[in-house]
Amino acid sequence: MTNEELRQSLLANPKNGYEELTTQQREEMEGYAAGYAAFLDACKTEREATAWAAAEAEKHGFKALTPGMELNPGDKVYYVNRNKSILLAVMGAQSLSQGVNICASHIDSPRMDLKPNPLYEDSEIAYLKTHYYGGIKKYQWLALPLAIHGVVCKKDGTTVTITIGEDENDPVVMISDLLPHLAGEQMQKTASKVIAGEQLNLIVGTEPIEGEGSDLVKLNVMKWLNDRYGIVESDFLSAELNIVPAGKCREVGLDRSLLMAYGHDDRVCSYAELEALFNIGTPAKTAVCILADKEEIGSAGISGMRSEFFEHFIDGMCRAQGVNLFDCLANSFCLSADVSNAYDPNFAETCDKRNNSLLNYGVSICKYTGSGGKSGASDASAEVMAFIRKTFDESGVIWQSATLGKVDQGGGGTVAIYMANRNIPTVDAGVPVLSMHAPWELVSKLDCYETMLACKAVYLSK
């Protein structure tokens, strides 16, 4: 055997995915990317993503799971949890005692939220005060067009949906930055202190209403909100209003190979899970899709992955078949579909290139995440890694393996640990992202498409 033959048979030989795509697959990839872009434009919050997923599920024949419902192979059910997370399932040919195949992702993204008492006026400028949500670089959110998305629940029981800044005829809001001519002291600060959290105040108006008083600009803004939405200032106390970048998903690169948008982390994997689930027929094992909330702040709370809404959903199906919930979980498998960091040559010093995701090399399998000695990680076993490799290879999925940066550089986590805590073998895999957690993130169309195929392979595995 020649050395070249030995290399081919013994050494790993990762390839750029474009070397392997057929013409038909390229066409499918472009169609998939267009659908994903439309999803991103419609879903900038977890509430919007949940509502969109439920509506699409109904179109694909899914029905809301109800107590006592008879479930047969091929039946499709879903469960909306508090309007901020959703679970869906396609019933398999096998009993639930054999377990289920799960793809779990999250639909919340880093952003800013309005404080409960946000509106004030200073020097005849009206502002809204915010509290940032998730891990952001605060300075990246200055001098950008921003939009307001969310709901206001009024005392009379009605709920008002608010979206300001997405329509081309809408106004936007913005946080001002300091001009460089006066920024000598600011530029000496570390990046984390260039702007303080309490300075992330949105400019929402400067025109005073006619009359007397010291709060005429604030009053004019409140009148605008009342005229348009029928709300008063005290209604902010029972509101969830999120501040996100204004604008649509755009193709990036002269070859249009990348997508730039807000919220790739982790709606890119959420969409992949949904599209795969909608197109699998009747699987051998029941296929379950989880779109959870609150991952960016630790998965806590009633709509996060630490909540028992997952057990509630699975147990509802198990009861219909007379199956013990814990037997089902012990025989299940979970793909924690979350993004990884794509290797960026501009910041090469942060990564171990041999063990980092690359753009256009397909879905990225992460054996573990965590930080500081794998703290907070769900470290997939050798058996689990062998299973996922075999599953992807047999389905023709283009994939790569990765870790999150250099060992002592930092780290992060996913919902994997909370699925594994339920005695479910779990591994992370997802789309590599450039500029993760920035207002605008970048992903490869190819990696998005392959992640959808990866989710499909997991749903159909036996």
Mean pLDDT of 167-193: 96
Spatial separation of the C-alpha atoms in residues 115 and 239, rounded to whole Å: 9
The two tokens of residue 145 are 């067009």
Residue 420 parent element (H or E):
helix 416-420
Spatial separation of the C-alpha atoms in residues 144 and 439, rounded to whole Å: 9
**Residue bearing tokens 């952003």:** 111
Band of residue 44 on the pLDDT scale cut at 50, 70, 90: very high
Cβ atoms of 460 and 376 closer than 8 Å: no
> Which residues are CB-neighbours of 175 under 8 A, at least 6 positions away?
141, 142, 143, 144, 146, 199, 200, 201, 202, 203
Cβ atoms of 200 and 112 closer than 8 Å: yes
Per residue in 97-133, pLDDT (tens digit) is 999 999 999 999 999 999 999 999 999 999 999 999 9
Nearest alpha carbon to residue 153 among 86, 234, 52, 260: 234
Q: At residue 135, what is the residue type?
A: G
Mean pLDDT of 410-418: 90
pLDDT of residue 103: 98
Between strands 201-205 and 411-412, the pairing is: unpaired
Band of residue 411 on the pLDDT scale cut at 50, 70, 90: confident
pLDDT of residue 327: 97
Compute φ and ψ for 373, nearest 5 degrees: 85, 40
Lay out the sheet containing 76-81: strands in order across. 63-64, 76-81, 85-90, 286-292, 100-106, 333-337, 426-430, 363-366, 399-402
The rounded percent of the chain whose pLDDT value lies above 90 is 92
The rounded percent of the chain whose pLDDT value lies above 70 is 100
Cβ atoms of 218 and 119 closer than 8 Å: yes
Cβ atoms of 439 and 347 closer than 8 Å: no
Mean pLDDT of 3-32: 92
Angle of CA points 60, 62, 68, to nearest 5°: 165
Q: Indicate the DSSP class of residue 9.
A: H
The two tokens of residue 284 are 């051998």
Spatial separation of the C-alpha atoms in residues 104 and 108, rounded to whole Å: 13
pTM: 0.96
Spatial separation of the C-alpha atoms in residues 364 and 430, rounded to whole Å: 5
Does residue 371 carry a pLDDT above 90? no
Does residue 404 carry a pLDDT above 90? no
The two tokens of residue 223 are 């009148």
Give the burial class of 97: count Cβ atoms within 10 A of its Cβ; 0-12 exposed, 13-18 middle, 19 or more buried: middle
Per residue in 273-307, pLDDT (tens digit) is 999 999 999 999 999 999 999 999 999 999 999 99
Spatial separation of the C-alpha atoms in residues 321 and 299, rounded to whole Å: 30
Mean pLDDT of 259-276: 97
Q: How far apart are the first and last CA of the chain?
A: 37
Compute φ and ψ for 180, nearest 5 degrees: -60, -25
DSSP per residue, 98-134: G-EEEEEEE---SEEEEEEEEEEEETTEEEEEEEEES
The two tokens of residue 436 are 């993760």
Spatial separation of the C-alpha atoms in residues 359 and 229, rounded to whole Å: 44
Angle of CA points 77, 82, 85, to nearest 5°: 60
3-state secondary structure (DSSP) of residue 379: coil
Does residue 6 carry a pLDDT above 90? no
Band of residue 68 on the pLDDT scale cut at 50, 70, 90: confident
Does residue 258 carry a pLDDT above 90? yes
Cβ atoms of 297 and 76 closer than 8 Å: no
pLDDT of residue 106: 97
3-state secondary structure (DSSP) of residue 351: coil
3-state secondary structure (DSSP) of residue 192: helix
pLDDT of residue 13: 84
Give the burial class of 34: count Cβ atoms within 10 A of its Cβ; 0-12 exposed, 13-18 middle, 19 or more buried: middle
DSSP per residue, 10-64: HS-----GGGT--HHHHHHHHHHHHHHHHHHHH-SSHHHHHHHHHHHHHHTT-EE
Band of residue 89 on the pLDDT scale cut at 50, 70, 90: very high
pLDDT of residue 190: 96
